[in-house]
Every structure is written in structure tokens, then in C-alpha cells.
């Protein structure tokens, strides 16, 4: 910890980078726009992977792996797709010392190469639905990068499914949106808004793109996951067709959906405070850190004996617990250090705790005296820790939800929109009947983008805040990463 973390109010972007540096989540690499994910950041990603992968398998998906390289000609088969991705491609032109006849694109996403395989695998309605996910790295040549949020190379999962009918495919698209929502709210403790992307913001080649949008600590939006209904566009481009029950040849309806290492950025920004990270217990690589406290040499042995008892009780009950054994640092330093790293619960064990057969719990989500509980009996330490971890998980989500509600504003005119955005920021929710050009104008004039048309908020008819047209649709706008 060379420097102190910049306070959020002073410079939120600086705060974000400071936390990533001090908590050793990631660092820049000598390769432009690519980051190194350090062990603590990667452990968080492993927890995210595990929570998602379990849900994918529970909903009938299997994993597979497709090539990193895609022939350039494949991308060109779907016109909107190549138009969207062409400016961002990294291209291999030399292999084994020779110039390649056809350049190979490093995958920016895999609809095309997977579509080519699906065309071979799918012959009949009996082969459907085909439900496959891939964990992979992808590359998009980005001009302005920011660790986890936008990097040239990133890690993600991309689901690709094929179905016999539009309704099956749309159902899958929305099912996976719900899976993402469930993960975000229950594992990452981040409340999200599910909604439809506008044409301007949708995936290159999709019919409809759905998103989960979270609010970060500064009121900006972050797209945390997307699920796309691709219609028959890729099926037509790659000839993914099947014989239906009546022996009629039909194009498949396909979907794709993805969540990336960006989720790590979401967790940092949705929960972090001026002391650093605050990790949701479900995903925290270390859920409980135990800090032994002793001064005189004679105190050490009994303290360490109890530390080990508590550690093994926690680990045996399934808690990811770690003891801070450093002898060249004071307890005070360690408290700050683990608070900065976002560990949800700290257990303090000193000589007086040994005498009383009890320990002290300190919550990361409530710093200072209010967050401390004294006299937790050693006999019940695992049970109490589980209860506290559950409470912190809920509390973080509650805090994030309250923050979002406080920073969500209804507006009814463009003037109000601009004033509120400038003075308060956050999410601006309004009736909306604008066009792509209207969105672009708003973006140019205010830097806010249309995040989504939120689902499940039927509110009846109103007037579009920009055009005044009558509509029953609403949209959420915000500054976004």
C-alpha cells in the first residue's frame, strides 16, 4: 500500500484504480489494453464462474470449447455482425513463419464459428434445443480501456443455443436473463434492472438484446450481462436448419448470452467505500479473516491455540477462513489491510478472549464500534459466523438497493432531464418514444445513454419526455461505463 486510496468524492475513477491496485486485484500489462488478473482478483472471478456454471448446468446447458481463431470470411457472412465488430479486431496474419492465405481473427465473440458447427450438428427437430456454453477469452481492440470494465482481452462465458421455434428461443433468452439476474442479486448482492436494449445499443446481429443494468456507487450504470435473441439471422448466414416433425426444412432460432470479468468491476463499484473493497460473502475468496492479538511472548501460545480451534471450526463448517500470521505487522495495520481487501468478517482473538473462551466479530459493512460483537462463545463460532455472513450478504444488497432508489429520478421533460442529470446524476426514468437519432442527440448533449426499456414496469400511457409523443413505454437513461 504505497499510497492512500483516493476518497470516492474526490475522484471516483482514481478511487477505482486505487482499490484495484491496493487490493491486488489486477494490474496493467506491457500489452496495450490487456491486464494481468492477480490471484485475489482471479479468486473472485473463480467464485463468479462457479456460481454461474452451476446455474447453467441446472438449466440444462453443457460446456464445450471452440477455436480461438475465426476465418475472416466467417465474420463477413452476417452483415450487421461484421459491421459492428470489424473496427475492434485483432488479426493473425503470420503462422509458423508464413503469411496466411486467409487472415485469422482472434475471436471477439463466437456466434460465427459456433454457428458453423451447429449447422453440422443439427439435422432434425430431435437435435433441438442445443444448449451449449463456452468459458473463454475474447479480444476486442479497445481505444480506451479500464481494468475489468473494458480491456482488449477479457474472460467471459458465452452461451449459444439453437431452437426449433421463435417462442422457444425467446423463452431461453429470457430464462438466461433471469439466471443472470438471480446471480447478480443473490451472489453478487447487486440489484439489477432487467430490460430491453434500444436498437442503438443492441448486439451487432441481434433481433433483441436484453440486459441487466446495475448502478455503481457514483450513480453511473454498468451493463452487467446481456442475453440476445438472434432470430434466424445467424441460422441463415450459416445454414443452421433442421427437418421438423412434418419433414419440412426450417431455420433454427438462436440465442447468445454472456457475462464477463466486467462483473468484478461491478462488485468493486457497487459495494466499495473509501476504505476499499466490500465483498459479498457468497463470492468473497476469504469470508472470515482471523487476527491473533498478543503482546508478550507468553500470550502467544494460548492465543494461537484458540486461533487454530476457531479456524478449523470455521473451515469444517464450509467457511473460507484465513489466519493472518504476519508477525511484522500490528493488529491495527492488519485490520485496515483486510478492510481494504473487503473481507466480510474479521475475528479478533486476544489473551482476554482466551480467558473468556470467546471471540470478537467485526463486520466490514459496518465499520467501528457498531459493527463489532464481543463475547461470541467459541463453542458456537461457526454457527454465528454463518449467520453474520448471511446478514452481511443481505445488508450489502439492501444498501445497494437503497442507493439506487435514492439516485433514481422520474423526469418528464428534457430540461428536467438535463438539470437532474447534472445536479444529481443517477438513473433517469421517463416515458420514451424517441428514435435512434434522438438517443444520439441526448448522448451528444448530455453524455447519458439509454440503458434499457425496463421490463415488468407497466405504468400506463404518458408523454415522451423528449418528443412529447404519447407512449406506454419507459426508458432508463444514465451515464454509463
Question: Of residues 328-357, which lie at the interface with a copy of itself (CB under 8 A)?
Answer: none
Q: Is 17 in the site for a copy of itself (CB under 8 A)?
A: no
Q: How far apart are CA 343 and CA 363, in angstroms?
A: 9
CB of 69 to a copy of itself, least distance (A): 5
Nearer to a copy of itself, 258 or 462 (CB): 258
Q: How many residues does the chain have?
A: 481
Q: Is 2 in the site for a copy of itself (CB under 8 A)?
A: no
Buried b (16+ CB within 10 A) or exposed e, 281-306: bbbbbbbbbbbbbbeeeebeeebbeb
Nearer to a copy of itself, 7 or 95 (CB): 95
Q: Is 72 in the site for a copy of itself (CB under 8 A)?
A: no
CB of 182 to a copy of itself, least distance (A): 23
Burial class (CB in 10 A: 0-12, 13-18, 19+), 318: exposed
Of 226, 105, 238, nearest to 159 by C-alpha is 226
Q: Is 467 in the site for a copy of itself (CB under 8 A)?
A: no
Nearer to a copy of itself, 263 or 392 (CB): 263
Question: Of residues 404-423, which lie at the interface with a copy of itself (CB under 8 A)?
Answer: none
Q: Is 273 in the site for a copy of itself (CB under 8 A)?
A: no
Nearer to a copy of itself, 37 or 192 (CB): 37
CB of 455 to a copy of itself, least distance (A): 31
Nearer to a copy of itself, 47 or 428 (CB): 47
Nearer to a copy of itself, 96 or 460 (CB): 96
Q: Which of 62, 379, 387, 455 binds a copy of itself (CB under 8 A)?
A: 62
Of 311, 367, 320, nearest to 339 by C-alpha is 367
Cell 468478517 belongs to which residue?
A: 345
3-state secondary structure of 220: coil
CB of 477 to a copy of itself, least distance (A): 29
Which range of residues in 59-67, 205-213, 303-311, 338-346 is near a copy of itself by CB under 8 A?
59-67
Q: How far apart are CA 396 and CA 304, in angstroms?
A: 32
Q: How far apart are CA 190 and CA 197, in angstroms?
A: 20
CB of 155 to a copy of itself, least distance (A): 7
Q: How far apart are CA 455 and CA 165, in angstroms?
A: 23
Q: How far apart are CA 130 and CA 118, in angstroms?
A: 8
Q: How far apart are CA 481 and CA 476, in angstroms?
A: 15
* Peptide bond connecting 129 to the previous residue in cis, omega within 30 degrees of 0: yes
| Total of chain residues touching a copy of itself, rule CB under 8 A | 55
Q: How far apart are CA 109 and CA 42, in angstroms?
A: 21
Site string for a copy of itself, 125-164 (x = CB under 8 A): -------x---xx-x-xxx--------xx-x---------
Of 44, 38, 333, nearest to 187 by C-alpha is 44
Site string for a copy of itself, 82-101 (x = CB under 8 A): ----xxxxxxxxxxxx----
Nearer to a copy of itself, 284 or 452 (CB): 284
Binding residues for a copy of itself (CB under 8 A) = 27, 29-32, 34-39, 41-43, 45-46, 62-71, 74, 86-97, 103-104, 106, 113, 116-117, 132, 136-137, 139, 141-143, 152-153, 155
Amino acid at each position: 500500500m504505497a499510497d492512500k486510496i483516493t476518497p470516492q468524492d474526490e475522484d471516483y475513477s482514481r478511487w477505482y484504480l486505487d482499490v484495484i491496485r491496493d487490493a491486488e486485484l489486477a494490474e496493467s500489462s506491457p500489452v496495450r489494453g490487456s491486464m494481468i488478473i492477480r490471484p485475489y482478483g482471479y479468486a473472485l472471478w473463480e467464485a463468479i464462474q462457479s456460481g454461474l456454471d452451476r446455474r447453467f448446468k441446472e438449466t440444462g446447458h453443457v460446456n464445450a470449447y471452440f477455436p480461438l481463431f475465426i476465418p475472416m470470411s466467417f465474420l463477413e457472412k452476417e452483415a450487421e455482425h461484421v459491421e459492428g465488430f470489424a473496427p475492434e479486431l485483432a488479426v493473425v496474419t503470420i503462422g509458423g513463419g508464413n503469411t496466411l492465405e486467409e487472415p485469422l481473427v482472434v475471436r471477439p465473440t463466437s456466434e460465427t464459428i459456433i454457428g458453423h458447427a451447429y449447422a453440422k450438428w443439427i439435422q432434425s427437430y430431435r437435435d433441438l434445443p442445443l444448449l451449449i456454453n463456452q468459458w473463454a477469452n475474447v479480444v476486442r481492440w479497445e481505444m480506451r480501456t479500464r481494468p475489468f470494465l473494458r480491456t482488449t482481452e477479457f474472460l467471459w462465458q458465452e452461451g449459444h443455443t439453437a431452437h426449433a421455434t421463435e417462442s422457444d428461443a425467446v423463452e431461453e433468452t429470457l430464462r438466461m436473463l433471469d439466471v443472470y439476474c438471480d446471480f447478480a442479486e443473490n451472489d453478487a448482492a447487486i440489484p439489477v434492472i432487467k430490460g430491453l436494449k434500444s436498437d442503438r445499443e443492441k448486439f451487432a446481429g441481434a433481433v433483441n438484446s436484453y440486459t441487466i443494468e446495475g448502478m455503481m456507487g457514483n450513480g453511473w450504470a454498468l451493463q452487467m450481462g446481456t442475453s440476445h435473441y438472434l432470430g434466424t439471422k445467424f441460422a441463415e448466414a450459416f445454414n443452421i436448419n433442421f427437418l421438423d416433425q412434418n419433414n419440412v426444412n426450417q431455420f433454427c432460432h438462436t440465442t447468445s448470452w454472456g457475462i464477463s470479468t466486467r462483473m468484478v468491476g461491478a462488485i468493486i463499484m457497487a459495494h466499495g467505500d473509501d476504505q476499499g473493497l466490500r465483498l459479498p460473502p457468497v463470492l468473497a475468496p476469504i469470508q472470515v479473516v482471523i487476527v491473533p492479538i498478543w503482546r508478550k511472548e507468553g500470550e502467544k501460545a494460548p492465543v494461537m491455540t484458540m486461533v487454530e480451534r476457531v479456524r478449523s471450526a470455521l473451515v469444517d463448517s464450509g467457511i473460507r477462513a484465513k489466519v493472518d500470521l504476519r508477525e511484522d505487522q500490528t493488529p491495527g495495520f492488519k485490520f485496515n489491510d483486510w478492510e481494504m481487501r473487503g473481507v466480510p468478517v474479521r475475528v479478533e482473538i486476544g489473551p482476554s478472549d482466551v480467558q473468556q473462551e470467546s471471540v470478537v466479530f467485526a463486520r466490514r459493512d459496518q465499520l467501528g464500534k457498531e459493527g463489532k460483537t464481543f463475547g461470541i462463545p467459541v463453542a458456537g463460532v461457526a454457527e454465528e459466523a454463518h449467520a453474520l455472513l448471511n446478514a452481511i450478504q443481505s445488508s450489502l444488497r439492501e444498501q445497494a438497493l437503497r442507493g439506487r432508489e435514492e439516485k433514481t429520478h422520474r423526469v418528464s421533460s428534457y430540461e428536467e432531464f438535463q438539470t437532474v442529470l447534472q445536479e444529481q446524476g443517477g438513473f433517469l426514468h421517463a416515458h420514451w418514444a424517441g428514435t435512434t437519432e434522438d438517443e444520439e442527440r441526448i448522448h451528444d448533449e448530455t453524455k447519458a445513454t439509454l440503458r434499457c426499456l425496463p421490463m415488468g414496469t407497466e405504468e400506463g400511457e404518458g408523454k415522451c419526455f423528449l418528443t412529447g409523443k404519447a407512449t406506454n413505454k419507459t426508458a432508463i437513461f444514465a451515464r454509463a461505463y
